[in-house]
């Protein structure tokens, strides 16, 4: 048998170290004559240290890890196969990965209370590192009372989240066995290690922005501009579809759906959202309405009280500002009949399938039921609000907008309304200025027909009572596709 040079050197080093340990033992034995236990401990440490530094030990360890990972991978595959099969009743779930993403979103929603309690406990722990004198001074300012109050308000927030969680368990027919299996999968999967509690908090705070009177100052200017431009540029509402990618918690798409002209509402409005969390939060609004047969609440006018500002101890003028509440009443928000919610990637969204049978609901590539056909639609409006700067590849978004517009007959109007800033993410492949955006639109066949020249300054999830407030310069423009050859 041929032995490699590396193995020979490793074996030689191991023999040398072993010899050294024997010599150390001989040397130390007289010294620790009365305490053999201590001598044995010292020698054991030397032996373990020597073996652990051996290349042979490293190879063995890597082999064991490989076998363990194979077992975990095999176990995870078995779990995936045990997850409930796809159900046509849930067109937003196209594969087992989608089902797992849904379960992971629900897991994070359910963990909100414990995650926030852990975070708040760290405040107590840090307080405990102060000297006794310093602690006594801060106690007199009622700091610990504030921490205790926030614990209770975390529970108050969780009432809504727990209802949302239970609603979706029922809605997607998720039982305890599926929850147990998926939790085991997440524990062993590197793809689901990130704690998404900050995303849950973000979604919760979006309720304040989108669905409470507190958020009107941020969202109403956007809604007003969009509604004005649709009414101004579209004549036949009953032959028009509107697509809203990145719809978030859905307030803009909801208001567009209610818009009417000559006693006609828009034929269809498609709210497209990629995030499971945002999608579930949006869907819960309609599931909890007093008109919904699937409402989880027996109260006909249930009002939730949430506390969106407790998740940050910084930049508050007083404790009352940090602890203040926002009322949410979803009971009157009936889902408009022309509104369709889609949980999918906008760049893969298709408005039609190959069937033109007017007697059947269309079913696009994402499995989403569409009630329109090309013959019934004439005009299309794309509404992007705080969306285009979220792209990793901005050109993909523009291409998708053009593709959807060109799916309708040439004779109809193709309108694109965009409102939002240009705060690109960290992995954007191209980051264009507003002037460059305008040039790109023109190159792709779009003609600007309306524009707010000076960007409007608007907040985004901004605490107007806080010492730090974030605002964006928001551009607003409307374009029409005049050259469909690009």
CA–CA distance, 209 with 200 (Å, rounded to integer): 15
269 DSSP β-pair partners: 242, 339
Q: What is the pLDDT of residue 64?
A: 56
Residue 242 has pLDDT above 80, yes or no: yes
Among candidate residues 480, 474, 449, 485, the one with its CA nearest the CA of residue 388:
474
- pLDDT tens, residue by residue, 281-323: 999 999 866 555 555 544 445 789 999 999 999 999 999 999 9
Rounded to the nearest 5 degrees, what angle is found at the Cα of 433, between the Cα atoms of 470 and 454?
A: 60
Q: What is the pLDDT of residue 74?
A: 53
Query: Beta-carbon neighbour count of residue 313 at 10 Å?
Result: 14
Strand ranges, E, within 113-207: none
Q: Which of 62-66, 168-172, 428-432, 467-471 has the lowest mean pLDDT?
A: 62-66
State what percent of residues in the chain have pLDDT above 70. Answer: 75
Q: What backbone torsions phi and psi does residue 156 show, to the nearest 5 degrees?
A: -65, -45
Residue 191: half-sphere exposure toward Cβ, Cα within 13 Å: 8
Residue 205 has pLDDT above 80, yes or no: yes
Q: Which residues contact 81 (CB under 8 A, 6 or more apart)?
A: none
Total residues found in the chain within this entry: 486
**pTM attached to this predicted model:** 0.80
Classified as helix, coil or strand, 474 is strand
CA–CA distance, 271 with 341 (Å, rounded to integer): 5
CA–CA distance, 284 with 341 (Å, rounded to integer): 12
CA–CA distance, 282 with 302 (Å, rounded to integer): 17
Among candidate residues 209, 210, 112, the one with its CA nearest the CA of residue 161:
112
Mean pLDDT of 178-191: 85
Sign (positive or negative) of CA dihedral 100, 104, 109, 110: positive
Rounded to the nearest 5 degrees, what angle is found at the Cα of 408, between the Cα atoms of 402 and 414?
A: 55
Confidence of residue 90 (pLDDT cuts 50, 70, 90): confident
Q: What is the mean pLDDT of the chain?
A: 85
């Amino acid at each position: 048998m041929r032995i490699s040079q590396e193995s020979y050197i490793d074996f030689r080093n191991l023999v040398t170290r072993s010899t050294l340990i024997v010599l150390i033992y001989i040397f130390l034995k007289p010294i620790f004559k009365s305490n053999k236990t201590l001598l044995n401990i010292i020698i054991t440490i030397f032996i373990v240290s020597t073996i652990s530094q051996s290349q042979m030990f490293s190879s063995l360890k890597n082999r064991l890890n490989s076998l363990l990972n194979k077992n975990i991978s095999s176990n995870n595959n078995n779990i995936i196969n045990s997850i409930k099969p796809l159900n046509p009743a849930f067109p937003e779930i196209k594969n087992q990965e989608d089902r797992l993403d849904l379960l992971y979103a629900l897991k994070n929603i359910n963990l909100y209370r414990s995650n926030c309690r852990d975070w708040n406990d760290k405040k107590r722990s840090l307080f405990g590192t102060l000297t006794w004198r310093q602690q006594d001074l801060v106690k007199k300012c009622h700091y610990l009372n504030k921490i205790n109050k926030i614990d209770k308000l975390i529970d108050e927030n969780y009432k809504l989240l727990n209802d949302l969680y239970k609603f979706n368990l029922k809605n997607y027919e998720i039982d305890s066995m599926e929850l147990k299996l998926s939790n085991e999968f997440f524990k062993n999967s590197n793809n689901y290690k990130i704690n998404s509690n900050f995303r849950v908090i973000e979604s919760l705070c979006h309720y304040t922005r989108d669905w409470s009177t507190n958020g009107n100052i941020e969202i109403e200017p956007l809604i007003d501009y969009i509604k004005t431009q649709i009414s101004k540029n579209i004549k036949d509402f009953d032959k028009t579809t509107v697509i809203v990618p990145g719809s978030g918690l859905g307030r803009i798409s909801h208001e567009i759906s209610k818009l009417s002209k000559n006693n006609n509402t828009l034929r269809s409005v498609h709210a497209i959202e990629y995030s499971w969390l945002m999608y579930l939060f949006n869907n819960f609004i309609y599931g909890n309405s007093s008109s919904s047969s699937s409402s989880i609440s027996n109260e006909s006018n249930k009002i939730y009280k949430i506390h969106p500002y407790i998740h940050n101890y910084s930049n508050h003028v007083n404790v009352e500002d940090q602890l203040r509440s926002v009322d949410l009443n979803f009971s009157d928000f009936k889902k408009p009949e022309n509104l369709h919610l889609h949980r999918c990637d906008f760049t893969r969204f298709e408005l039609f399938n190959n069937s033109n049978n007017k007697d059947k609901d269309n079913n696009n590539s994402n499995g989403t039921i569409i009630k329109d056909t090309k013959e019934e639609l004439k005009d299309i409006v794309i509404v992007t609000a705080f969306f285009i700067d979220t792209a990793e590849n901005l050109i993909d978004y523009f291409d998708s907008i053009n593709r959807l517009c060109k799916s309708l007959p040439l004779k109809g109007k193709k309108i694109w309304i965009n409102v939002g800033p240009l705060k690109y993410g960290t992995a954007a492949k191209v980051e264009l200025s507003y002037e460059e955006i305008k040039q790109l639109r023109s190159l792709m066949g779009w003609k600007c027909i309306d524009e707010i020249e000076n960007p409007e300054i608007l907040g985004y999830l901004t605490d107007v009572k806080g010492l730090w407030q974030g605002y964006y310069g928001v551009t607003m423009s409307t374009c029409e596709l005049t050259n469909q050859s690009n």
